[in-house]
Structure 1
Amino acid sequence: MNGYSSKRIAVTAGAGSAALLIAALTFQTLGYAPCELCILQRWPHLVAAIIGALVWWFGWKRWLAALGLIAALCATGLAIYHAGVELKLWLGPQHCSGGIAGLASMSTQDLMAALEQAPVVRCDEVAWSLFGISMAGWNAICSAALSAMWLASVRGRNREKGLA
């Protein structure tokens, strides 16, 4: 694999993150409001898309590809966490999973204030799914594939030199 191939893989992975962002925004315009974890998952994809653009503009650099890999791995981890919250495998953040800490000891005023501050979209409910996989689940699958692409880009020069 030559430097050109490593660059192409990195740029494609960055474009994949940009495509996932566009898909998320499209769903949002179609009326699927994002929860807090959905929005959180977008940030690593934004970083990876920017890094892909930097690789395209300035050329392949191992450290840029490594940053892209880190961003994609963060996106994968956040998406797995969110999918697990939706599947009730573990608890999500209290403020977006329906729980209000200290509910029994709250006054009526405190309870009303907590309810007014609670997000409308819950993190532990599936808003949309395809083949039984939620958006967070699809994001985890796609993010894992993009992580593999970033890894291939990072490792590309080592293979060319016979170092891997």
Structure 2
Amino acid sequence: MILHDMSQKQMVMVAAGGSLVLLAGAYLFQALGYAPCQMCLWQRWPHGAAIVLGLVAIAGIAPRVTAYVGAAAALTTAGIGAFHSGVEQGWWEGPSACSSAGNDLGTLSGADLLSTAIQDTIIMCNEIAWSFMGLSMATWNMVLSLVFVAIWLRAARMA
């Protein structure tokens, strides 16, 4: 079914369903051993919000406003994904908690410096754990979420 042939409710289902698929995929990758970094986790929250907003819109509660807020949720995760992609590519610095080059030991406590477990608990945001067609998971999240933004906005304009 092509977008211009879809009803508002169907578009909302596609956009919210897309977030559901991306969120499920993130948990599947985690189950397969690809532990998420801090920014990966940040990208999940707006998808969760978009799923809930989709259910609210499908229920007929303020569908136009809900669709605009759904677009904002999708745009938020796309923005985080874009920022994360830039960190992975080394275009800019990421959060120091997960993308440090290891040069700033002054921020660690004595217990942290002596701990042998610290390396196992921190997943680096500036390392690409998996890619497909040259794009990392964060980049795919950005690209697909921007598609969802367009679908949410089209649904909002139909009300």
TM-score (structure 1 length as normaliser): 0.83
- Greater alpha carbon shift after TM alignment, 148-157 vs 16-25: 148-157
Partner of 2:94: helix, strand, or coil? coil
How far does the alpha carbon of each residue in 1:20-62 deviate from its partner, in whole angstroms, 9 at most, with x for none?
A: 0000000010110000000000000000011111122235621
Following TM superposition, by how much is the alpha carbon of 1:68 offset from its aligned partner in structure 2, in angstroms?
0.4
Structure 1 residue 154: deviation in Å?
Answer: 1.2
Percent identity of paired positions between Structure 1 and Structure 2: 37
- 1:58 counterpart SS class: coil
Aligned to 1:24, which of 23, 26, 47?
A: 26
Query: Conserved in 2, the CA contact under 8 Å of 1:75 and 1:143?
Result: yes
For these two proteins, the number of residue pairs brought into alignment is 155
User: Structure 1 residues 106-115 or 33-42, which shifts more?
Assistant: 106-115
The structure whose Rg is larger is: 1
Match of 2:99 in 1: 97
Contact 1:35/1:122 (8 A) holds in 2: yes
SS of the residue corresponding to residue 123 of structure 1 reads coil
Give the Å deviation of 1:74: 0.3
Inter-CA distance 132–106: structure 2 relative to 1 (3 Å threshold): closer
User: How do 1:1-164 residues align onto structure 2 when only pairs under 5 Å count?
Assistant: 5-58=7-60, 61-99=63-101, 103=105, 105=106, 109=110, 112=113, 119-157=121-159
Alpha-carbon distance, 1:109 to partner: 1.6
